[in-house]
Structure formats: structure tokens, C-alpha cells
Structure 1
Amino acid sequence: MRIGIGSDHNGYEFKEEIKRFIENTEHVLVDYGCDSKDPIDYPDIAFEVANAIIDGKIDRGILICGTGIGVAIAAGKYPGIRAALTHDTYSAERAQLSNNAQIITMGAQIIGVEVGKKVVEAFLKSHWTGGSERKVSKIIEKEQSFLGQLEKDATGNRCN
């Protein structure tokens, strides 16, 4: 698989450790930044990784910030993206098996690097089998209905 990774400055060192871990697997890794501890806004990185998934440049993503919350929210703004906050192996596995999440997020100030490696390993070893397809389809349908409402707004019809 092609794996994209990105972090803000709060997750930079954590990201670098996770990169080294992934580079020792069969996966192809693409780093979307950041490249130092210099301050950077986490939405910029999250948007790049989410967009790369939408564009088919990568198959899955890993995003890291201080808590993992901000990057999850930012990536989830992209239609079709399901980003899951994961701080343990069970939630990382279920992110894929139950939700077909393309992105996991982690907080560098919440978990240690060794746990992070195990979380990533669980996510990358898990593959969507469609077991919760009905539930994921409901999420997709709701997203599509909101997108349809936005399209109506763009034509001048207000939706209140």
C-alpha cells in the first residue's frame, strides 16, 4: 500500500519515528510534512493527506498532532474521508474493519512512540471486509445529502 504521513510541529519527532517504522515494511511511504519543529498549522497537513487519498495518490494516511483531535477534524472535512482518532491497537483495527477509515490520527502528547508503532501496525494489517457496510453506507448517504444541499445553495436556493 501507499501510505501518506503528516504531522504538525507538535507531532514532528513522533512522525519521524513512525516513518522509520513504516520504512521497514513492504509499504511505500509518502511524507507530507512537516519537516521540522517550526510552527505549522495542522489543518494544512491534514488537508494535504486527505486530498492525496481523494486523488488516489495514496491508499491510507496517518496524521499526528499534539492530541490527534485537530487533524482528525480537519481531514474529516473532505467529502468521502473517514479519519479515526486511535490511541490503541483495538481502535486502530476497528477503524478499518468497522468503518473503512482511510486515515488514522494519533496524539504525540498522548501516547508513546512504541504504542504508536503498534497502532500503525494494527491499522495497516487490517482490511475492510464490508462487515459494517450498512452503517458506513448510512454515513456516506448522509454526507451526500448534505453535499446536495450545498449544491442547491450555490444555485441561489437557500436551505434553512
Structure 2
Amino acid sequence: MKIAISSDHGGYNLKQTVMKHLDELKIEYKDFGCSCCGSVDYPDFALPVAESITAGEYTMGIIICGTGIGISIAANKVPGIRAAVCNDSFTARLSREHNDANILALGERVLGPGIALNIVDEFLKGEFQGGRHAVRVAKIKEIEGKYSKNK
């Protein structure tokens, strides 16, 4: 498992906590920024994570901003990305099992570090169940293809 991770300034501190946790779990990751708490734009940090996953360089991603919403919207513009904002362990697990989410989005201003790490753990250990869920994910891919400029 190889993880791509990034944040904007609003998620910088939580990103540090998550990276320390990944170190403890001996999970390989690459930090795509940002590198401080100074104001930056979240799309600039969602894009390299999303692109690294669609290129096959990384298995999954974790992106963090103040709420997780803005950075997930930006990531979801990349074809092939299914970024899920999760605020609890249950939705994190189901985002993987039912939606084959490949990026976890977190909000530093929404979550405490302990809950955030539990969410990360559930997301990383979740596995796509396929079956009826694969049919639904395929339909998402069809919608994506319909509106993709790169047909």
C-alpha cells in the first residue's frame, strides 16, 4: 500500500498527525504539500494526489483541509477519483466497501486527532466488496465518461 497525502493550510496540523501515524504503521506515503500553515489554495494540493492515484503511482490518497469538503470537490474533478469526506469510522469503512473510494478527505476543523486516526485506519483497511456495489461504481464511471473532455 502506497499513500499520497496532502493538505492546505487548514489541514496542515492534522496532516502532520496522520503522517506520524502512517510512520508508526510502517505505511509508505508521499507528502505532496503544503509545507506550512500559511494560506494556500486547496485545489493546488488536491490535484497532485488525485493525479498520482490515476497514474498508478499510489494506491490511495488522504487529503485534508478545514472541512474536507473543498479539497474533496477539487479531487473529484479528476476522472477516476472517488474522494469521500468522512467524519466517522463507519462512513470511512463503507466508502471503501461500497463506493471503492480511493481518496479519504478529512477536515481538521471538524475532527479531533484521535477520531481522525480511527477514520484513517478504517479507510485503509477497508476493501471494495464488488457485487451490486460494482454495478453502481460502473454507473459513476459512465457518468464521468459522459462529461469527460478527454473522450
- Asked if 1:87 is matched to 2:93, the reply is no
The match for 1:38 is 38
In the alignment, what sits opposite 1:73? 73
TM-score (norm 2): 0.96
CA shift for structure 1 position 129: 2.5
| Cα shift at 1:108 | 0.3
Residues 40 and 127 of structure 1: is their aligned pair in 2 closer, same or farther, counting only changes over 3 Å? same
* Corresponding residue SS for 2:3: strand
How many pairs are equivalent? 150
Q: Which residue of 2 aligns with 1:158?
A: none
Give the whole-Å Cα distance in 1 for the aligned partners of 2:76 and 2:109.
Answer: 21
Alignment-derived partner of residue 134 in structure 1:
135
**Residue 57, structure 1, aligned to residue 57, structure 2:** yes
Q: Percent identity?
A: 39
Secondary structure at the counterpart of residue 94 of structure 1: helix
SS of equivalent to 2:43: helix
Matched residue type, 1:21? H
Secondary structure of the structure 1 residue equivalent to 2:30: strand
User: 1:87-125: per-residue Cα shift (whole Å, max 9, x none)?
Assistant: 100110011100001001011000101100000000001
In the TM superposition, residue 27 of structure 1 has moved relative to its aligned partner by: 1.7
Q: Which moved more, 1:20-29 or 1:101-110?
A: 20-29
Distance 1:112 1:10, change over 3 A: same
TM-fit CA distance, 1:26: 3.5
**1:143 matched to which residue of 2?**
144
3-state secondary structure, aligned to 2:130: coil
Q: 1:89 to 1:55 in 2, by over 3 A?
A: same
Structure 1 range deviating more: 1-10 or 122-131: 122-131
Query: What secondary structure does 1:11 align onto?
Result: helix
1:122 alignment partner, SS class? helix
| Structure 2 partner of 1:16 | 16
Shift of 1:145: 1.6
Q: Distance in 1 between matches of 2:112 and 2:4?
A: 20
Q: Which runs of 5+ in 1 are unaligned?
A: 153-160
122 and 34 in structure 1: CA distance in 2 versus 1, 3 angstrom threshold: same
Query: Equivalents in 1 of 2:63, 2:147: separation in Å?
Result: 26
Q: 1:121 & 1:22 partners in 2: Cα distance?
A: 9
CA RMSD, Structure 1 to Structure 2 (Å): 1.2
| Structure exhibiting the larger radius of gyration computed from Cα positions | 1
